[in-house]
């Protein structure tokens, strides 16, 4: 099987490349923009058949220069939810994806792509239906615009097209993301550097650290992508989260206790960590007021309806595995 992974040096893309290799697929064309050169580390040890910069790949793919491609995993995007340049966001996340979709349809290539839970924005329900889609920023809108194009073309699609609405993904190979890295990544580094983890205080009717998200481990995201690769008869737009919202307190608790375990220290309950100053709460930032999802939880009805019964890790399990990975030389 010959596949393409765009955004291949990014967090999800690189984990996908390693996941494909693990199941014996090594004819992998990687596509990315390595202006940020150190991202190459995410691909160390991966088996690739070629690499292309994103500036040339899409045109050459549309011109059929790569022969028969079985599937494209399209992870390449601008994922910075604080980016306000709408022209850039739509060109990167919408137009590029639409052109790729058209080329895949012409060539009979399967397309599995990254959408986002940001399409729901201010909604209180997270179901893959238009009435629940209320993006709070242009990033969420760019993803929704493409999802809607996919919806319109699916009845006539010549091959598999799958969109994954990723919820809050955390896990290995996200060190390049800066402020957009997961809270687990930031918590680990805060604790290592300062001996404490900081969480937002009260906001949106939630107590300190009680704002809740659907946190999903990167390895689980890869597993579901690969499940769909093995089931080409399944198409559609699906939530990809655990189906279980957990508060930020749970992430901080898991991170601190996993880090303490590395030093041979016993786990402590949340109240003890707060009392000892290992977890502290800070005022909610004014810049995020009205632009922040205080609660997300993937409805997995559609995903389970495909027959995908994958069991997702909870925060305690996933964060412990991630902290162990972060603590090792990589």
Q: Is 139 a catalytic residue?
A: yes
Q: Which helix (H) or strand (E) holds 197?
A: strand 197-200
113 is catalytic: no
What order of strands is seen across the sheet that includes strand 236-240?
50-53, 27-32, 2-6, 71-74, 110-116, 161-166, 236-240
What span, in angstroms and rounded, lies between the C-alpha atoms of 98 and 100? 5
Q: CB neighbours of 116 closer than 8 A, spacing ≥ 6?
A: 79, 139, 140, 143, 165, 166
- Distance in angstroms (rounded) separating the CA atoms of residues 23 and 255: 30
Hey, is 222 helix, strand or coil?
helix
245: which 2 tokens? 């919202």
Q: Give the N- to C-terminal CA distance of the chain in Å, as an integer.
A: 29
From 58, 113, 139, 322, the catalytic residue? 139
Q: Single out the catalytic residue among 98, 177, 196, 203.
A: 177
309: how many CB neighbours lie within 10 A of its CB? 9
Opening angle at CA 77, ends 187 and 321, nearest 5: 30
* DSSP structure class, residue 76: -
How far apart CA 269 and CA 257 sit, in angstroms, is 9
Backbone angles phi, psi at 145, to 5 degrees: -60, -45
Q: Would you give the DSSP letter of residue 78?
A: -
Tokens for 129?
A: 């239906």
Q: Please classify residue 230 by burial: count the beta carbons closer than 10 Å to its beta carbon, then call 0-12 exposed, 13-18 middle and 19+ buried.
A: exposed
Q: How many CB atoms lie within 10 A of CB 219?
A: 18
Give catalytic residues, as residue numbers: 139, 177
């Amino acid at each position: 099987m010959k596949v393409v992974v765009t955004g291949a040096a990014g967090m999800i893309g690189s984990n996908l490349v390693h996941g494909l290799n693990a199941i014996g697929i090594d004819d992998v064309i990687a596509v990315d923009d390595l202006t940020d050169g150190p991202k190459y580390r995410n691909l160390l040890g991966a088996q690739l058949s070629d690499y292309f910069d994103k500036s040339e790949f899409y045109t050459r793919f549309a011109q059929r220069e790569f022969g028969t491609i079985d599937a494209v995993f399209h992870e390449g995007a601008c994922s910075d939810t604080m980016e306000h340049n709408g022209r850039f966001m739509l060109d990167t996340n919408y137009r590029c994806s639409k052109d790729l979709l058209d080329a895949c349809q012409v060539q009979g290539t399967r397309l599995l792509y990254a959408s986002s839970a940001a399409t729901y924005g201010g909604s209180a329900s997270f179901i893959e239906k238009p009435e629940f889609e209320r993006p709070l920023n242009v990033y969420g809108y760019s993803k929704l615009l493409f999802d809607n194009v996919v919806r319109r073309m699916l009845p006539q699609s010549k091959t598999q097209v799958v969109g994954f609405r990723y919820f809050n993904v955390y896990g290995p190979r996200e060190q390049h993301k800066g402020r957009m890295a997961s809270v687990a990544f930031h918590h680990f580094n805060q604790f290592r550097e300062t001996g404490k983890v900081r969480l937002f205080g009260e906001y949106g009717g939630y107590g300190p650290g009680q704002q809740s998200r659907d946190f999903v481990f990167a390895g689980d995201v890869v597993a579901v992508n690969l499940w769909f690769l093995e089931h080409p008869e399944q198409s559609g737009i699906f939530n990809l989260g655990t189906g279980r919202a957990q508060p930020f307190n749970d992430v901080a608790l898991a991170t601190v206790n996993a880090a303490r375990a590395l030093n041979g220290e016993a786990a402590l309950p949340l109240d003890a960590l707060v009392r000892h100053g290992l977890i502290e709460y800070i005022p909610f930032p004014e810049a995020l007021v009205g632009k922040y999802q205080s609660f997300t939880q993937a409805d997995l009805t559609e995903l389970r309806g495909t027959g995908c019964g994958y069991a997702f890790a909870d925060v305690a399990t996933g964060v412990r595995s991630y902290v162990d990975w972060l603590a090792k030389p990589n």
